[in-house]
């Protein structure tokens, strides 16, 4: 039986202008029909968000009431986590053991921003004029276009919706045309939580008729985008039409540095999780291993033993540790880059091939690139389970190789030397540095990168401020009339 999903616009569920099939990555077969939003649907969603922004049903409630709605959404999300996890696993191919735990934790992001909603404060200015009182207030920015990719879409929505709604904005949330089912299902929770119509709208569709219309829309005030640099360039170009504020959380080519004095077991497990969790389909995938030369062979051997023991299987099986890629497009791209890298001098240690089974499975792959440090697999974000390995002989060489990338999203460092750890934290050009751990997240901690990894930060208390604008208020306290501006003294 084929499942069917709908758009969520102005508090109502409705079909799209057309439908398109969504493919189960584990089988390669269509499992659901998704609604395709085109310009008419996008325009109505933005119009609904604009109306709701000034409607007393939303604009007239207190910040504490906004927080209560977010807290209600968090409770509903936590309760619905098993159902949403099953949908996400079916539509994206991410394994159920990961989606189950991840979605349950995402509720904490909404709870965090629920608590911040009534703590968005202004400030008094000690102005340099004796007869004036001046203060600054923070007000919601307006209509937000939140555009997210298919991977970790409920998390990537939470770090946009949470602070935007806490601040009092309204949102049009665009799910990727690849595997949008989890966000369309999430819309039901938004509806049940009791947000007024138009405050949150959820659409999906393709670039020209949906994404471009949304990001260039004259009534959009802020574009919060997560995705790749190529699409980000289109987003920035589109924003020239509306001069909307733009925040970009893009990809990465994250290094994990392992020194000889590191806890090797921890480093191996972190590297394993860093690149092979979610089949490498993560913006913070630790896709570049930089290991001190003296321990390279022993480290890679220990890592290889664990990689070869990974349980590959159907993503809805709790015993499965490694599932398919999300799209056939990714599979083809990875095959091409690996093949090119091998011609450039990379040496295959394991993997490097499609798996002989239905669906979009690519074997966990390790490439020794110590003789080919500029191979394409080292420089290109693959968004798949491909690890490149290189060596370093000194701390300075490790830093130089870690920073030899156009990206700057995340990095991991494993060492027991405390002073070295502090030097590396400062020297590595990355928005997030994990020291003796990897992939740890929290709603309390900001997340974002440099360079081709984008700009702006998501998570943490300051993220709410990105969805506000300031208003400066001047109050003259003197009772005497303002002087005649044309009288010379």
Catalytic residues: 249
CB within 8 A of 82, min separation 6: which ones? 100
- CA atoms of 314 and 358, how far apart (whole Å): 10
Burial per residue of 457-487, b for 16 or more beta-carbon CB atoms within 10 angstroms, e otherwise: bbbbbebbebbbeeeeeeeeeeeeeeeeeee
C-alpha radius of gyration, the chain, whole number: 25
CA atoms within 13 A on the CB side of 130: 2
Please report which helix (H) or strand (E) contains residue 111, including its range: helix 96-116
Strand, coil or helix: 438: coil
Whats the size of the chain, residue-wise?
A: 489
- CA atoms of 458 and 139, how far apart (whole Å): 19
Residue with tokens 């491909």: 386
Show the DSSP H helices in 375-468 as ranges: 376-379, 395-402, 418-427
CB 200 within 8 A of CB 190: yes
Q: Exposed/middle/buried for 31, CB within 10 Å: 0-12, 13-18, 19+?
A: middle
- CA atoms of 154 and 104, how far apart (whole Å): 10
Please report which helix (H) or strand (E) contains residue 171, including its range: strand 170-175
CB within 8 A of 302, min separation 6: which ones? 264, 268
Token pair of 431 as six digits:
């928005």
Q: Exposed/middle/buried for 408, CB within 10 Å: 0-12, 13-18, 19+?
A: buried
Nearest CA to 148 out of 235, 51, 32, 57 is that of 235
Burial per residue of 218-257, b for 16 or more beta-carbon CB atoms within 10 angstroms, e otherwise: ebbbbbbbbbebebbebbeebbeebebbbbbbbbbbbbbb
CB 70 within 8 A of CB 162: yes
- CA atoms of 404 and 255, how far apart (whole Å): 10
């Amino acid at each position: 039986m084929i499942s069917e999903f709908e758009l969520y616009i102005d508090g109502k569920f409705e079909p799209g202008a057309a439908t398109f099939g969504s493919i189960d990555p584990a089988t390669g077969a269509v499992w659901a029909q998704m609604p395709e939003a085109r310009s008419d649907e996008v325009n109505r969603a933005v119009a609904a968000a604009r109306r709701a922004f000034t409607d007393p049903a939303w604009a007239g409630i207190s910040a504490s009431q906004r927080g209560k709605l977010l807290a209600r959404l968090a409770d509903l999300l936590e309760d619905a986590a098993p159902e949403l996890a099953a949908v996400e696993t079916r539509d994206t191919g991410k394994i159920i053991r990961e989606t189950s735990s991840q979605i349950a934790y995402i509720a904490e992001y909404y709870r965090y921003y629920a608590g911040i909603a009534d703590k968005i404060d202004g400030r008094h200015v000690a102005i340099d004029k004796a007869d004036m009182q001046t203060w600054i207030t923070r007000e919601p920015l307006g209509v937000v276009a939140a555009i997210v990719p298919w991977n970790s879409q409920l998390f990537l929505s939470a770090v946009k919706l949470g602070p935007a709604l806490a601040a009092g904005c309204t949102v049009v949330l665009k799910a990727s045309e690849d595997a949008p089912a989890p966000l369309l299902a999430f819309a039901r929770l938004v509806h049940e939580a009791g947000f007024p119509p138009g405050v949150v709208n959820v659409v999906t569709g393709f670039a020209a008729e949906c994404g471009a219309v949304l990001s260039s829309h004259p009534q959009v005030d802020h574009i919060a985008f997560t995705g790749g640099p190529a699409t980000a360039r289109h987003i920035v170009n589109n924003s020239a039409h509306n001069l909307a504020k733009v925040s970009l959380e893009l990809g990465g080519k994250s290094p994990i540095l392992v020194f000889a004095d590191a806890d090797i077991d921890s480093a191996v497990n972190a590297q394993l999780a860093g690149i092979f969790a979610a089949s490498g389909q993560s913006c913070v995938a630790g896709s570049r291993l930089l290991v001190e030369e003296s321990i390279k062979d022993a480290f890679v051997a220990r890592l290889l033993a664990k990689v070869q023991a990974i349980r590959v299987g159907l993503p809805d099986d709790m015993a499965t540790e490694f599932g398919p890629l999300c799209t056939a497009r990714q599979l083809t791209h990875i095959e091409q880059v690996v093949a090119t890298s091998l011609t450039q001098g990379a040496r295959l240690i394991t993997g490097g091939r499609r798996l002989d089974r239905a669906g979009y499975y690519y074997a966990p792959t390790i490439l020794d690139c110590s003789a080919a440090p500029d191979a394409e697999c080292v420089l290109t974000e693959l968004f798949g389970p491909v690890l490149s390995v290189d060596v370093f002989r000194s701390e300075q060489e490790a830093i130089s190789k870690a920073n030899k990338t156009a990206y700057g999203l995340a990095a991991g460092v494993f060492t027991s030397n405390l002073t070295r750890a502090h030097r590396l934290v400062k020297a590595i050009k990355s928005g997030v540095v994990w020291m003796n751990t990897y992939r740890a997240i929290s709603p309390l901690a900001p997340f974002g990168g440099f360079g081709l990894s984008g700009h702006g930060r998501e998570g943490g208390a300051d993220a709410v401020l990105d969805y506000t604008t300031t208003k400066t208020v001047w109050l003259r306290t003197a009772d005497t009339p303002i002087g005649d501006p044309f009288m010379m003294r």
